Structure 1
Amino acid sequence: MRVALCQVAATADPAHNLALVRDGVTTAARAGARLVVLPEATMARFGTRLRDVAEPLDGPWASAVRETAAASGVTVVVGMFTPGSDGDRVRNTLLVTGPGCDTRYDKLHLFDAYGSRESDTVEPGGRTVVVDVDGVRVGLATCYDVRFPALFTALASAGAEVVALPASWGDGPGKAEQWDLLVRARALDATTVVVACDQAEPRAAGLEPVPGAANGIGRSCVVSPLGEVRDRLGAAPGVLLADLDVAEVRAVRARLPVLEHLRAVPAVARTTTDRPG
């Protein structure tokens, strides 16, 4: 299966960002891609008032993405914001739409770290999602989810051979190195291919970053089930194409059956001394 990672730099304007989606999907489809992955927060970048842009999945923005995917005959994974259940917060949603597939994944783990409080404006999701794309099982995760290995092993245990990981990764000391390490570690943990698509670094796209927001650093990449980076983009917008062979995933799992060996972790003993009797 050919996959395209469309690394874009979203703005605060959903209409402008929809044009980026259309251009990326059209370019990817012409290059033979069957799965097109765009970043988290493609609908509107972080630093935007999210309640003002959030729309339901039958709203105009998602409907336009759906029409673009249908016209190109590809499956699209793209980050948007949908209304939450409490009226005050939104959901950080991945829309997944294409031939025989139309669903959502709402980000499970919210970025309350490094001084950020995503949970102030975003409501967490409550389910994991694996979809079928041309017979390949694709799991879904979003940005901060990459710091939680159990999600990736759960997706793999549910049949995922590939995990699509849209992101809008925050910049800062050591953050690029953490991104590189984490995407590789999660691929190896779960013996899956990870296709990680981040927002482009704003200045590399001719934009000013939003102070204090997770703007993206680029570095979108494709990682093998043994944690090897097969290809990577730089900081600027671009499209990365990769041909995935799920037979490799199955071969790796036959040699390294960590999913079969996975056990529930027992409770930690409170004593450091075991006494007979």
Structure 2
Amino acid sequence: MRIALSQISSTTDPAENLDLVRDGVRRAAADGARVVLFPEATQCRFGVSLKPIAEPLDGPWATAVRAIAVEHGVVVVAGMFTPTADGRVTNTLLVTGADVHLGYDKIHLFDAFGFQESSTVAPGAKPVTIEVDGLTLGIATCYDIRFPELFRALADQGASAVLLGASWGAGPGKVEQWELLVRARALDCTSWVLACGQADPGVDLGSAPTGVGHSTVADPLGNVVGSLGAQPDLLVVEIDAEAVESARRTLPVLANRRL
């Protein structure tokens, strides 16, 4: 299966960001991608009030993304925000195409490095997997990558690959941590990990995590098979289930667990 990582830099205008999705999907589909992964916060970047932006999964923004996916015969995974009853929002990865339209609500909220995501965002509670052309894919978001138990749970649910959208916070050593964590999580669950981040916006937008780029794909043995720099770009990779089966025979960490 060919999967594209569309590394973009979202604005605060969901309509402008929808154009970025449209362009990214068009380019990815032309390169043979079956799934197109966009970053967390594709609908609207962090650093502004998210409550006025939030829409349900059957709202106009998600519906438009679905139409784009259907037009090009792909599955699109893209970050958005959905409303909650308590006045906060959920940080949701929309997963949409002809046969699927659902959301994964980010479980682990980024209350770290001076940022308090939980003040405006409610946590999700349920890991999510989908099946595309017979391949099971897990879904994760940004700070989730620091929690290996989620990736093992997704593997236990049959995931051969985990698609992760992120808007990684900048700072000393943060790019190095990002690359290390992508590779480590692949090894933890002996699955492909495809991590698409927001590009570096190139300007100081305050303390909000608005992206550093460096989208990365690691194979089930933790080898980097593709990566991008800091700027907006597109990466298309080929993944296969046989690599997962081979890795799990060679390195049976899931089978050897005692806890």
**TM-score between the two structures when normalised by the length of structure 1:** 0.92
Partner of 1:21: 21
Q: d(CA) in 2 for partners of 1:94 and 1:197? A: 12
| Equivalent position SS for 1:258 | coil
Q: d(CA) in 2 for partners of 1:188 and 1:81? A: 30
Partner of 1:109: 108
Match of 1:261 among 240, 256, 259: 256
Q: d(CA) in 2 for partners of 1:173 and 1:23? A: 32
Q: d(CA) in 2 for partners of 1:27 and 1:85? A: 38
Partner of 2:131: 132
Offset, 1:53: 0.3
Match of 1:213 among 200, 208, 216: 208
Q: d(CA) in 1 for partners of 2:119 and 2:76? A: 28
| Greater gyration radius | 1
| Equivalent position SS for 2:165 | strand
2:2 equivalent to 1:7:
no
Stretches of structure 2 lacking an aligned partner (at least 5 in a row):
none
What is the identity, as a one-letter code, of the residue corresponding to 1:30?
A
Provide closer, same or farther for how the CA distance between residues 113 and 77 of structure 1 changes in structure 2, counting only shifts above 3 A: same
Q: Answer yes or no: is the 8 Å Cα contact 1:222–1:229 preserved in 2.
A: yes
Deviations 1:16-56 (A, max 9, x none): 00000010011101110001000000000000210010000
Offset, 1:133: 1.0
| Equivalent position SS for 2:52 | helix
**TM-score between the two structures when normalised by the length of structure 2:** 0.99
Partner of 1:268: none
Offset, 1:85: 2.6
Partner of 2:143: 144
Q: d(CA) in 2 for partners of 1:209 and 1:5? A: 24
Partner of 1:224: 219
Correspondence 1:193-208 to 2 at 5 A: 193-203=192-202, 208=203
Offset, 1:134: 1.1
Moved over 2 A (4+): none
Offset, 1:99: 3.1
What is the identity, as a one-letter code, of the residue corresponding to 1:82?
T
Partner of 2:236: 241
Stretches of structure 1 lacking an aligned partner (at least 5 in a row):
265-277
Q: d(CA) in 2 for partners of 1:22 and 1:209? A: 27
What is the identity, as a one-letter code, of the residue corresponding to 1:48?
V
Deviations 1:143-179 (A, max 9, x none): 0000000000010011000000100000001111110
Offset, 1:258: 1.1
Partner of 1:60: 60
Q: d(CA) in 2 for partners of 1:89 and 1:98? A: 27
Q: Answer yes or no: is the 8 Å Cα contact 1:101–1:132 preserved in 2.
A: no
What is the identity, as a one-letter code, of the residue corresponding to 2:35?
L
Q: d(CA) in 1 for partners of 2:245 and 2:11? A: 40
| Equivalent position SS for 1:66 | helix
| Equivalent position SS for 2:183 | helix
Q: d(CA) in 2 for partners of 1:167 and 1:81? A: 13
Deviations 1:180-202 (A, max 9, x none): 10010000000000000000000
Q: d(CA) in 2 for partners of 1:240 and 1:209? A: 26
Q: d(CA) in 1 for partners of 2:102 and 2:258? A: 30
Identity in percent: 58
> How many residues are paired up?
259
What is the identity, as a one-letter code, of the residue corresponding to 2:106?
K
Partner of 1:179: 178
Partner of 1:97: 96
Deviations 1:208-254 (A, max 9, x none): 33111101000001101011111100000010010112111111111
